[in-house]
Structures are given as structure tokens and as C-alpha cells.
Structure 1
Amino acid sequence: MPAVMLEKEMDRGSGSSGLLAEKCARIAVEEAEKAAAKGTFGVGGLLIENSTGRVLKKMQNRVIAAGSTTIVADPTAHVEKQLLDWYYFSRKKALPLLPPAADMTIVCSLDPCIMCAGAILSAGMNVIRISDDPECGVSCRGQDDLTTLPAELRQEKAARFSAFGLRGKRSFAGSQDSIFSGSEIDPLFDKRSTRAFTSSLAKIRNNINKDWILPDRLENPGLLAKSKPSSHLVKTIRHHNPQAFSEEHTLNPGAPGAALGQVLISKARESYRNAGLFNSACIIDPFGNILLAGGASPVEQTPLLDMMRRYYSLVNDAGENGRRYLAHPKYCKIAILFGPARSPAGLMEVGSLGSFFEGKLPRNSRGQLEYVIPRQDVSELSGMLRSLPPFYSRTANLENVIQQTQDDALKEFCMARVP
């Protein structure tokens, strides 16, 4: 990934913070409008260096594949998450002299979602937004209302997150340490930003959810692997998971027991060797086939986001015929060794589920994400999930979606092998 500075560097010393705010807001909104015009979610943003106001990178939402309005390329490719990924990559590989995350600010057209809020808090970066997102935004109840987050994260959120003032409509809100503290921008930026997002939202959600087959009409890819092992679909699934359709990766859907535990522990040990993180996850289809399995990302501190990216990559590689065999994410089972914690990584995990499902779940949905070992008391986790913005707490109903497994054999197997 080339680490190229953008052509317009903004030196705070050469103008007021208000001028810098207007310039950054304009870039963010223009990126949001470009994203909407391309058929993806209309959100844009940029990353700046606090000490100079220099723009290092600008970004558009890239959830939907270029040239399509129906194909999800990466459910985690939100603006803030991409900017953070670029920063980590550039700091490690190409630009070691980039300042620490605490000395950077993301300027975003829209209030960050829960997944991105977790990623920002994990990085220790600053963020300022133009527009509200009453459905998914971490500040959906107001900039100074911190109740969408666990108590352990609220102080850091108050110190890192801000909202531009809109002249004649609202005052600056957020951290007084922000380089934009007190800044107000033209309300037209808010109007344009909101229009870019809302004009794309319902249409995209409908498009990306409409072509999937219901579980009772799906065909079992495991049977195809036996009858036509050289078929494109079987080869594609095995490319993404070489152990797919083996005895070890074929489970009893009702009681996976120690067989699933063996896969989770094996991948967690591999993750610990490679990244120093003992955690793992699997995506299991309605027939009990483990389609994907893997360990935790060293940057994200969780296996979930990478698992979700990989699933959509598998679906897209499988082609149109793959939809006969591959279920919509909301009909799959995600098994993860450790449940969500009251931490930035835990926030990323629960927020990423909203991006993975992207819409309402079937009535009476329960346990699409099952964890084996809790990282917090069940009542604490329930309270954390109920406090999330409306999309997560009501539309996706994550309190029902995220459950500890009731499979005693699975729990006993894993707990006996966790270091």
C-alpha cells in the first residue's frame, strides 16, 4: 500500500482552526458524496496530523464492491476502520515517522458506529464528526451522553470524541483538547453529509439482503463435496479452508461438543504462536460444516472481523451458484472461544455483528454468536448490549444474538485446555 501524502497539506499555523475545520469538513463530505455515487454507503473521512493539520489520507466507505450495488466486498470497510488500518500499515511498513495515534484526528462525515468506536478507542486516536447517526452512532443520545458504552470506556470516549459546531444550529461538543475545540462549520456540510448517507442506506440494505436463499431451501455443500469434489464451489471453499468437509470440520449442528472445541483450541494455540493472542472463531453453516476457522488479529485483538471479511470473500469467490449452498450470515453460526469483554476489542466484536448481518434478523433469532468462555458476567453483558444504539439493541437484538453455549461437553473440553 503506497504511503503517499495527499496534495493539500494544511498547516494550522497558516490559518485559523475554523478555516482548517471548514477544509476538513469539505473533504469528508466530498468523499461521502463520491461513495454514495458509487453505490456504497455515503460516508467519507480523512486522517490529519494534529500538530500541523496535514492531511495524510482520505477515505470513502468501501463496504459494497466497486461497480456493484449488491455485492458486499468487506462488511468492516467503514471509513474510520480503513483509516486506522492504513495508519497501522504505514507506521509499520512505510512511514515509521508518523506521529503516535494520540496525535492524530479522524474527521468523519458521520458519527462512528460501535465497531469503529471500539477501533478508535483501541488505537487511542481522536475523532470529530459532522453529522449524527441516530440509529448506529456511538453518540446517538448526544455527544455528552456516554451511556452507549460500558462505564470502563466512557472517560476515554469523552477525551477522544467530538462533534463540530454548526453555525446557528449547534455548538461544538466534545473534548476541549481537540484541535477543533470550539470550531463551527457551515451547516450545509451537515445537510450534504446526511443526504449522502440517508439516500444510500435503505436501498443498499435492501439490495444486499434480497438475493439470499432461506435455510430450508439451501443445498448442503458437504454432500456436493462427496458427489462432485472437483466442483468450483467445493474447490473454492477448500481454498478458504483446506480442512473443509473433513471429519474434523463436520459437526453435529445440534451438539457439536468436543469436536468443535478441538477446532477452537487448535486455532487458538496457532493464534497464540503467531500473534500472542489465545482466541479463535469458526463460521458454521446450517448443516454443521465449518466453512472458516481462524485465530485473533494482532491489531484488532479479536478473530471476528477477519472471519467476517473472509466469509464475504468466500461468498464472492463462489459466484452466483454459491448462493444455492452458502447461507446469509444471519443464518450461520459463529462460534468464538471467548465472549466479548468490556473493552475496545469487545466493543468492536459486538459492533461488527451489526455490520455482518446488516439488517433485521429472523423473529426469535437466538445464539447466532455463541461463545464458550465468558469474559464478563452474563448480566453485565446483557446490560452492555441493551445500552447500545437502537440498530444493535433493537433491530439486530444483540442481547439475543450473543449467547454462551449451553453445550456442556464443549465448555468442559475448552476450559480444560485454556492456559
Structure 2
Amino acid sequence: MAKVTTVEQAMEIAADQTLIASCANTFSVGGLLVDDAGNVLHAMPNQVIKDGYTSDPTAHGERQLTDWYYANSKNLPEPSQITVVTSLDPCCMCTGAILTAGFKVLTAAYDTYSGINYDTKSDFPSLTPGMAKRAETRFGYPEVVDGVCYNRLAKGPENNVPAFTAKTIQGRTVALCENIFQATLASVRQQINNDLPFDQLGDILSLTSTDPIRVALSSKYAQALQYRSQAPFTPDEGLVPYLKAMMQYDITLGGKGQAVALLDHHGNLLLCKSGSESMSSIRTAFMEVTRTYAGLRRQLQMDGIKDTRKYLPHPKYCTFVFALGPMLDDEPRVRPDIGPLSQTQSFMELGAYGSTMEGALDTVNNPSPYQYVRSRMNADTLAAFCTKMPPLYSSEIKVNPIQVTNQGLIEGIG
């Protein structure tokens, strides 16, 4: 097990991971987990893109490190004794994952478009006051000193890793972390959105049941294509049994009864999943759905199935239907499915939705791609919350969860 004694040494490892990511033609971001004694537990690069295809839109370094921790936690210290050292300010998804897990954070470079402190003030403008208070005690931005334009004073806690004997980082390290990310950003986002236009999409039900696309889809979800909404982009009461079955399953796996269905542009049910929170508290239902869908599309394309994008469209043409809506306020609650953990998970899911889209939505053809059935907070409060998210989410993607309009579906979920 490697050991680091300064924050600069740790940041250099994170910077090395950005190089690995850059060579793989994915977002050039990387990070590592360090315990309070300075032991490097694990390091990972971003892995959103693999072999030229979107493999997992949630595979940011910090999210992957969090899942790695849960998979190996029996032999590791508590999260409060571990710091995520990352090359770039965490996005909303990764911030939610970090707060859910309970890690500390040290960040090299700011990200003024999608980072949680996009204003570079370390004031967490996108979080609720309760979440921001927790983040302020965990997220550190070390001092940068070497006499050039990257200099900055330290913000946040300076003693996240007690074993560190020096707590400043060099401008060249920050410059590498910032500029290598910027250099790859446009090309990677273009790759993620390299899909067919809406008018070239087909209906998956026109394929035979033995078509490789349908066979692969059914292998991920046995009930795939057994439901189709009466109108595109308008889920109705026919979706109730599929959502309710997964809501119950979610409870058996340690969740709070969440389930997420994915409908295509015709209203066909592609996937419906619960979370896997007994394995990891960040493996929520939405995370499972979006990761499964991306992995399915990648595998089919790698297998040479040329019509994959025609019949399994980009997620921006689909509708994600959450059984339970987001919960993102600090009001006292008495229901067991609402609390600090639900808050940070909901925030993570909003961010993960943004990572799944990674670009402007097609609201002309698909006006409401993010819908929920049971409301858990006031709709106006939710809409106002989304406008405070970093520019990627609030200005470009314009994340806007809305409640489904079908009363039978609402009443069926209860």
C-alpha cells in the first residue's frame, strides 16, 4: 500500500489518473482515496467512455471510488476517516455520492460549469442549507503557492488528512488538472451525444422477438416491452404493476421503496429497476437504470449490431419515471422515507441525470424526460432548487423534474 505525506503527493497521483483518462478518450478527471494515516487505498480515472462508446454515464472518478469503498469496506476505515482526493471539483452527482457516504474531500481545480462550487467561492450555492453545512466541514480546497496565476488561498478544512505534513499544492499540478480536463471536454461530450436525430428512430416492437436487440434487452429486464403507454412521453396507469413490484423489491434490498422505469420515445417499457442499497447506499434505482441502459447499448454496438441506436435511442429521447419524486428541502419530516440520506441521494440522482444527458435536451420532441409519480416536496420549491444548480444542469440541460399527469398512475402508486 503506497503512502503519501503531503497533499501535493496525493494530488500528483490524482493528476496521473487524469492522464490515464485522457489516453482513453474520456473525461480527463481522476482521484484516489486516502486514509487519515496517508495510506493510498485506491486510485481511479474517469471511465464514462470505453472503446469509443458511452459505457457508464455515472463512471466519474469519485462515484467509482465510492462504490469501490462499499465493495471493500470490511477491511477499510470508516468513511469519516477517508478523504477523496480529486483533480476536479466534484459534480452534483459525485457531491451527492460523497455526502451520502460520509467522506472528506480535497480538490485541485475548480470546474466553473458543472462543479459543486462553480462560483469558486466554496459556498456550495446549489445545496440546501443543511447539506451545505455538512459539505463545508468536509470539502477542502488547498492553498496553491508558487507565484503564478493559479495561486489561491485555502478554503474549507485544511486538516482533512492529519498525516499530511504539508498542505499546499503547486500551481503546475492545478494547471494540469484544470487544462487537461478542458482540453478533452468538448470531444467527449460530442461522443456521448453522437446519436441519431429523432426522425430517424424506429419502433423496437417492429423487430422480431428473436432480434439481438430485443433478446439483449430482455436479458436485462424480463418484463421489457410488456407495457406501452397510450401516448408517447405520457406514462399512465398501466405502468403501476411494474413500478410497484420494483418498489417492493427495493425495500427488500435496503432501500426506501424507490423504483425507476425507462420508457422509449413510443412509450415502450425498456427497463424498470430497484436500487441495490444493501450493496452500496449510492446504488439507487436511477443509478441502476441509467448504468444498465448505457452498458446495454455499448455492448450491442461493440458486437456490431448496427441498428442499436435506432431502436435503443439516446436517453434524451426517453422518459425516466421515478416512483418517488426528489426530496431536496430542509423542512422537518416524519415519514421514514425522508431524511438527510434521502436528500443527498436525491441530489446525486439529479446530478446523475445531468451526466446521463451531458447536453441540451430535445424538448421539442420530448417535453418531459424526467417525471415522478409520488411527490415528496412542493413542485415550486423543487423547480426553484433546480435553477440554483451549476450552469450545466440549470442553463444547458435545464433539469426540470415534473409529476406525471395521469391520475390513475398517481393513485395506483399511492
CA distance in 1, matches of 2:40, 2:115: 24
Cα deviation, 1:133-187, whole Å, max 9, x if unaligned, reads 0000001112432221112201101001011211041111112442369822110
**Cα distance between partner residues in 1 of 2:252 and 2:44:** 34
Quick check: 1:233–1:322 contact (8 Å CA) kept in 2? Answer: yes
The aligned residue for residue 398 of structure 2 is: 397
The reply on whether 1:43 has 2:29 as its aligned counterpart is yes
Matches within 5 A, 1:270-309: 270-298=249-277, 299-300=281-282, 302-309=284-291
Letter in 2 for 1:201: L
Give 1:238's aligned amino acid. S
Whole-angstrom distance in 2 between the partners of 1:84 and 1:380: 29
Residue identity (%) = 30
- CA–CA distance in 1 between the matches of 2:352 and 2:16? 26
CA contact (8 A) 2:404 2:410 kept: yes
SS in 2 for 1:173: coil
Question: Map of 1:1-400 to 2, 5 A cutoff?
Answer: 5=1, 8-10=2-4, 12=5, 20-50=6-36, 52-65=37-50, 68-69=51-52, 71-91=53-73, 96-167=74-145, 168=147, 169-179=151-161, 183-210=167-194, 212-224=195-207, 228-246=208-226, 249-254=227-232, 255-298=234-277, 299-300=281-282, 302-319=284-301, 320-342=306-328, 343-364=343-364, 366-399=367-400
Task: Using structure 1 for the length normalisation, give the TM-score.
Answer: 0.88
Distance 1:276 1:74, change over 3 A: closer
Q: Which amino acid aligns with 1:412?
A: E
Give the deviation of 1:250 after TM superposition.
2.5
Counterpart-to-counterpart distance in 1, 2:184 and 2:90 = 17
Q: CA deviation at 1:22?
A: 1.4
CA–CA distance in 2 between the matches of 1:148 and 1:245? 38
Write the letter of the residue equivalent to 2:307: N
- Tell me the amino acid that sits aligned with residue 39 of structure 1: N
Whole-angstrom distance in 1 between the partners of 2:140 and 2:176: 19
After the TM superposition, list the runs of 4 or more consecutive aligned residues in structure 1 that deviate by more than 6 angstroms. Answer: none
Distance 1:108 1:148 in 2: 20
- How far off its partner does 1:273 sit? 2.2
1:301 shift after superposition: 6.0
For the 8 Å contact 2:255–2:276, the answer to whether it is kept is no
1:17 aligned partner: none
Q: Which amino acid aligns with 1:75?
A: P
Residue 193 and residue 281 in structure 1: after superposition, are their counterparts in 2 closer, same or farther (change >3 A)? Answer: same
Q: In structure 2, what residue type is equivalent to 1:145?
A: D
Per-residue deviation, 1:276: 4.2
SS of the residue 1:171 aligns to: coil
- Tell me the distance in 1 between the aligned counterparts of 2:44 and 2:60: 9
Alignment partners' CA distance in 1, 2:283 and 2:373: 17
1:404 to 1:327, Cα distance in 2 relative to 1, 3 A: same
Checking the alignment, whether the CA contact within 8 Å between 1:219 and 1:325 is kept in structure 2 is yes
Q: CA 1:267/1:181 → structure 2, altered by over 3 Å: closer, same or farther? A: farther
Give the secondary structure class of the aligned counterpart of 2:402.
strand
Take 2:160 and 2:108, find their aligned partners in 1: how far apart are those partners? 14
The answer to whether the 8 A contact 1:271-1:295 is kept is yes
1:208 deviates by 2.3
Q: Is the 8 A contact 2:123 2:136 kept in 1?
A: no
Q: How far has the Cα of 1:408 moved from its partner?
A: 1.3
Structure 1 residue 297 displacement after superposition: 2.6
Distance 1:213 1:22 in 2: 44
After TM superposition, give the deviation of residue 83 of structure 1 in Å: 0.8
Count of residue pairs brought into register by the alignment: 385
Give the Cα–Cα distance (whole angstroms) in 2 for the partners of residues 261 and 125 of structure 1: 37
Q: SS where residue 398 of structure 1 aligns?
A: coil
SS at match of 2:228: coil
Contact 1:47 1:83 in 2 (8 A): yes
Q: CA deviation at 1:263?
A: 1.2
Identify the range of structure 1 (271-280 vs 98-107) with the bigger mean alpha-carbon deviation.
271-280
CA RMSD between the two structures: 1.7
In structure 1, C-alpha distance between the alignment counterparts of 2:87 and 2:255, rounded to whole Å: 35
2:98 and 2:359 mapped to 1: Cα distance?
24
Which residue pairs with 1:407 in the alignment?
406
Q: Secondary structure at the match of 1:174?
A: coil
Change (3 A) 1:155 1:242: same
SS at match of 1:372: strand
Listed one character per residue, the Cα deviations across residues 29-54 of structure 1 (whole Å, up to 9, x for unaligned) are 1111221122111001111011x111
